[in-house]
Structure 1
């Protein structure tokens, strides 16, 4: 495939992917590499069975969160509610973090793994890093779930290149 054909396929791929709707999460970590986090829409469960449930997240290699997770060996997937686009924007670096600290955008507590968990998240999946593979521009990370918490409410969604709500 020639370079122009590859670029056209890439553009068509991104345009078609924008039609998918996904939940919005922030993935956080803390440990020897320090705290880090990023907004992520590429997240899914892998399995509820086995030694522990497993989750998959994809993080761009240029985020500060990817190398921090690799060093810290843990992460927390925080599923955002419909009213939390401001936190999503801070962790996506689309909005300025209060005082330059992303974690000042919400209330966090330390989860079992050591990763920060957003106390107001609709769901939190506290994970130990099991594996990482770099594919293209992204790290595909799989984590073993230590702890799950859940609140009720409508989720924040992402589709058509913008935040969406179920209502």
Structure 2
């Protein structure tokens, strides 16, 4: 058992991946999935300890993930000859996408409720940032309304 506890912006978690072999149209295919994310597992070599770290400048992305219909925890992996190894945890879809763009495997699982509540506390402690895309939408709506007002007065 670990004495390490989550702080306001970091949390030690243990991740266990599972290799699955499937057969499709006669061909074997190796797939990986997150088998378990534990807050404090029994001592077991199949778990990898990683720190989930939150950053103030990613709050908009955290909010987007939390407000989605299915918030996700992303596990960035490294593909080795012996299999996949988890290397990083994030709840930021933008960070996960950046790793995927760099051809690194990224797995995801539904975000555990305890992590959702912890992320909400982080955001509340630092304040929500306005979504920059909402400002652009508002500007487009105002421009459209102004154009309609001008066209409607002709």
Q: Provide the TM-score with structure 1 as the length reference.
A: 0.26
Higher helix share: 2
Larger radius of gyration: 2
Q: Provide the TM-score with structure 2 as the length reference.
A: 0.28
